[in-house]
A and B are shown apart, each in its own frame.
Chain A
Amino acid sequence: MAEAHPVGFQWVMEAKARGATVIHVDPRYTRTSALADMHVPIRAGSDIAFLGGLINYVLTHDAHFEEYVKAYTNAPMILRDDFADTEDLDGLFSGYDHESGSYDVRSWQYQGAEVEASAGKRDETGASVEQVIDERLQTASGSEQAGSGGAPMRGTPDRDGTLQHPRCVFQVLKRHYSRYTPEMVAKVCGTPPEQFERVARELVTNSGRERTSAFAYAVGWTHHTVGVQYIRCASVLQALLGNIGRPGGGIMALRGHASIQGSTDIPTLYNILPGYIPMPHAHREQDLASFVAADSGEKGFWGNMDAYTVSLLRSWFGDAATADNDYCFDHLPRLTGDHGTFQTVMDQIDGIVKGYFVIGENPAVGTANSKQQRLGLANLDWLVVRDLNMIETATFWSDGPEITTGEMATERIGTEVFFLPAAAHTEKDGTFTNTQRLLQWHHKAVEPSGDARSDLWFYYHLGRRIRAKLAASTEARDRPVRDLVWDYPTVSSPTRPEIDEPSAAAVLREINGTGPDGAALSTYTQLRNDGSTRCGCWIYCGVYAGEVNQAARRKPGSEQSWVAPEWGWAWPLNRRILYNRASADPDGNAWSQRKAYIRWDAEAGKWVGPDVPDFEATKPPDYVPPEGAKAQDAIGGDEPFIMQADGRAWLYAPAGLVDGPLPAHYEPEESPVRNALYGWQSNPARQQYKRPENPYHPVDGHPGSDVFPYVFTTFRVTEHHTAGGMSRWTPHLSELQPEMFLEISPELAAERGLEHRGWATVVTARSAIEGRVLVTDRAKPLRLDGRVIHQIGIPWHWGPNGLTTGDAANELLGVSLDPNVHIMETKASTCDIRPGRRPRGPELVTYVADYRRRAGLEAGLEERS
Chain B
Amino acid sequence: MVGDEGRDEGVGVRSWIARWPVYRQLTGDDGLGRGAAARSPRTEALQARTETADREVKSICPFCAVGCAQRVFVKDEQVTQIEGDPDSPVSRGRLCPRGSSSLSLVTSPTREQKIRYRRPYGTEWGDLDLDTAMDMIADRVIETRANSWQHTDELGRHLHRTMGIASLGGATLDNEENYLMKKLYTALGAVQVENQARI
20 inter-chain pairs at a CB distance below 8 angstroms, sorted by A residue, are A258-B60, A258-B62, A263-B171, A263-B175, A268-B170, A269-B195, A282-B158, A284-B157, A333-B159, A333-B191, A347-B192, A418-B137, A426-B57, A426-B59, A432-B60, A442-B58, A442-B60, A445-B57, A445-B74, A477-B146
Please tell me if the beta carbons of A7 and B96 are within 8 angstroms of each other in the complex: yes
Q: Is B181 an interface residue (CB 8 A)?
A: yes
- 3 closest cross-chain pairs (CB), A and B: A557-B89, A430-B174, A434-B67
| Cβ contacts A497-511/B at 8 Å (1 or 0 each) | 000001010011011
Please tell me if the beta carbons of B144 and A355 are within 8 angstroms of each other in the complex: yes
Q: Is B151 an interface residue (CB 8 A)?
A: yes
Residues of A within 8 A of B173 (CB): 259, 263, 359-360, 430, 455
Complex: how many Å from CA A10 to CA B177? 31
Q: How many residues of A contact B (CB 8 A)?
A: 169
Partner of A356, one of B62, B111, B167, B191: B167
Q: What's the least CB distance linking B64 to chain A, in Å?
A: 6
Residues of A within 8 A of B94 (CB): 7, 10
Which of B85, B146, B178, B193 is most buried by chain A, counting CB atoms within 10 A of its CB?
A: B178
Complex: how many Å from CA A386 to CA B61? 20
Q: Is A205 an interface residue (CB 8 A)?
A: no
Q: What's the least CB distance linking B103 to chain A, in Å?
A: 9
Please tell me if the beta carbons of A508 and B176 are within 8 angstroms of each other in the complex: yes
Complex: how many Å from CA A435 to CA B64? 9
Q: What's the least CB distance linking A822 to chain B, in Å?
A: 6
Q: Is A858 an interface residue (CB 8 A)?
A: no
Q: Is A274 an interface residue (CB 8 A)?
A: yes
| Closest A residue to B165 using CB positions | A355
Q: Is A100 an interface residue (CB 8 A)?
A: no
Q: What's the least CB distance linking A808 to chain B, in Å?
A: 13
Known: A284-B158, A334-B158. A257 touches B171 (CB 8 A): yes
Q: Is B110 an interface residue (CB 8 A)?
A: yes
Complex: how many Å from CA A266 to CA B176? 9
**Residues on B close to A: CB < 8 A?**
57-70, 72, 74, 77-79, 82, 85-92, 94-102, 104-106, 108, 110-121, 123, 125, 128, 130, 133-142, 144-149, 151, 153, 155-184, 186-199
Residues of B within 8 A of A568 (CB): 67
Residues of B within 8 A of A454 (CB): 177
Q: Is A459 an interface residue (CB 8 A)?
A: yes
Complex: how many Å from CA A821 to CA B125? 38
Residues of B within 8 A of A361 (CB): 168-169, 171-172, 195-196, 199
Q: Is A692 an interface residue (CB 8 A)?
A: no
Q: What's the least CB distance linking B86 to chain A, in Å?
A: 8
Known: A269-B195, A434-B65, A462-B184. A258 touches B148 (CB 8 A): no
Residues of A within 8 A of B105 (CB): 388, 424, 726, 729-730
| Closest A residue to B55 using CB positions | A445
Residues of A within 8 A of B149 (CB): 477
Q: Is A354 an interface residue (CB 8 A)?
A: yes
Known: A439-B175, A511-B175. A144 touches B72 (CB 8 A): no
Q: What's the least CB distance linking B129 to chain A, in Å?
A: 8
Complex: how many Å from CA A398 to CA B65? 33
Please tell me if the beta carbons of B59 and A333 are within 8 angstroms of each other in the complex: no
Residues of B within 8 A of A389 (CB): 108, 110-112
Complex: how many Å from CA A174 to CA B151? 51
Residues of B within 8 A of A733 (CB): 97-98, 101
Which of B74, B149, B175 is most buried by chain A, counting CB atoms within 10 A of its CB?
A: B175
Complex: how many Å from CA A726 to CA B64? 11
Please tell me if the beta carbons of B180 and A463 are within 8 angstroms of each other in the complex: yes
Please tell me if the beta carbons of B170 and A736 are within 8 angstroms of each other in the complex: no
* A-B contact sample (19 more), CB < 8 A, given A7-B66, A266-B179, A481-B187: A7-B68, A259-B173, A267-B178, A268-B170, A270-B194, A332-B160, A333-B186, A341-B198, A361-B168, A363-B199, A388-B108, A421-B114, A424-B105, A430-B176, A440-B69, A442-B58, A465-B134, A731-B108, A732-B104
Residues of A within 8 A of B159 (CB): 282, 333-334, 336
Please tell me if the beta carbons of B118 and A258 are within 8 angstroms of each other in the complex: no
Please tell me if the beta carbons of A388 and B111 are within 8 angstroms of each other in the complex: yes
Binds B, one of A236-244, A409-417, A526-534, A830-838: A409-417
Known: A359-B170, A731-B104. A418 touches B158 (CB 8 A): no
Please tell me if the beta carbons of B197 and A443 are within 8 angstroms of each other in the complex: no
Please tell me if the beta carbons of A421 and B112 are within 8 angstroms of each other in the complex: yes
Please tell me if the beta carbons of B174 and A431 are within 8 angstroms of each other in the complex: yes
| Cβ contacts A433-461/B at 8 Å (1 or 0 each) | 11110111111111101111111100111
For residues 453 through 511 of chain A, which have their beta carbon under 8 Å from a beta carbon of chain B?
453-456, 459-463, 465-466, 469-470, 476-477, 480-481, 483-484, 486, 495, 502, 504, 507-508, 510-511
Residues of A within 8 A of B120 (CB): 381, 413-416
Please tell me if the beta carbons of B176 and A354 are within 8 angstroms of each other in the complex: no
Please tell me if the beta carbons of A316 and B140 are within 8 angstroms of each other in the complex: no
| Closest A residue to B108 using CB positions | A729
| Closest A residue to B179 using CB positions | A266
Partner of A803, one of B102, B110, B139: B110
Q: Is A161 an interface residue (CB 8 A)?
A: no
Q: Is A707 an interface residue (CB 8 A)?
A: no
Q: What's the least CB distance linking B117 to chain A, in Å?
A: 6
Residues of B within 8 A of A470 (CB): 142
Q: What's the least CB distance linking A439 to chain B, in Å?
A: 7
For residues 710 through 730 of chain A, which have their beta carbon under 8 Å from a beta carbon of chain B?
718-722, 726-727, 729-730
Please tell me if the beta carbons of B65 and A421 are within 8 angstroms of each other in the complex: no
Q: What's the least CB distance linking B111 to chain A, in Å?
A: 5
Complex: how many Å from CA A558 to CA B90? 11
Complex: how many Å from CA A511 to CA B151? 29
Complex: how many Å from CA A429 to CA B115? 22
For residues 322 through 354 of chain A, which have their beta carbon under 8 Å from a beta carbon of chain B?
330-336, 339-341, 343-344, 347-348, 352-354
